[in-house]
Amino acid sequence: MISLEERARRIKMAVFDVDGVLTNGGLMLGDDGLEYKIFHSQDGLGMKMLKNTGIRMAYITGRKSNVVVKRAENTGVQIIYQGIDDKLEAFTDLLEKQGVSAEDCLFMGDDVIDIPPMRRAGLAVTVPHAMPLVKEYAHYTTERQAGLGAVREVCELLMRAQGTFDAQMAPYLK
């Protein structure tokens, strides 16, 4: 049995679902036809710090939204798959294009559409409100809620396991 720390130590790429992971899962639709999402600033800083350590990041999401592109730009995420019905297909394509093995990849999701890539990933992560079946396939369930620091928790978990946490905190602890 591989420990959580061993799994986290191997990660070279972190892949996140958006709705229900980076957000609380609620969808805000305006009369103007636009979709609005609320992201947490702590998650954003966590992703920026994680990127600084050399870990690549991607989003694979079932919905399409311009705000996801803006969030990716803000947090340093360069790879986005949107409007995806088959997340395993997208995950496999991502791994192939990036030259990363599934064992060296984290996948974080919250609903059954996320189970196929979670089953392939070396580290499968979910959030407390995830569907019960999803939790059965997760190696780790965050303490923090989706959209309220769960992604930051995962970023810090990876940095601690890989010995990069102190260097990322140093500028703030002078």
Instruction: Say whether pTM exceeds 0.85.
Output: yes
Interacting residues of 84 by C-beta distance below 8 A, sequence separation 6+: 60, 61, 62, 90
117 touches 99 (CB < 8 A):
no
Is the pLDDT at 27 greater than 90? The verdict is no
Q: Is 17 annotated as a binding residue?
A: yes
Residue 28's pLDDT band, with cuts at 50, 70 and 90, is confident
| In the chain, where the domains are located | 4-162
Residue 34's pLDDT band, with cuts at 50, 70 and 90, is confident
* Positive/negative CA dihedral, 69, 72, 78, 84: negative
Residue 131's pLDDT band, with cuts at 50, 70 and 90, is very high
77 touches 59 (CB < 8 A):
yes
CATH topology of domain 4-162: Rossmann fold (3.40.50)
Q: Is 19 annotated as a binding residue?
A: yes
Q: Tokens 């394509």 correspond to what residue? A: 93
Is the pLDDT at 33 greater than 90? The verdict is no
- pLDDT tens-place string over residues 97-108: 999 999 999 999
Q: Could you tell me where the beta strands, DSSP code E, fall in the chain?
A: 13-16, 28-29, 35-36, 56-60, 79-81, 105-108, 123-126, 140-141
Q: Is 93 annotated as a binding residue?
A: no
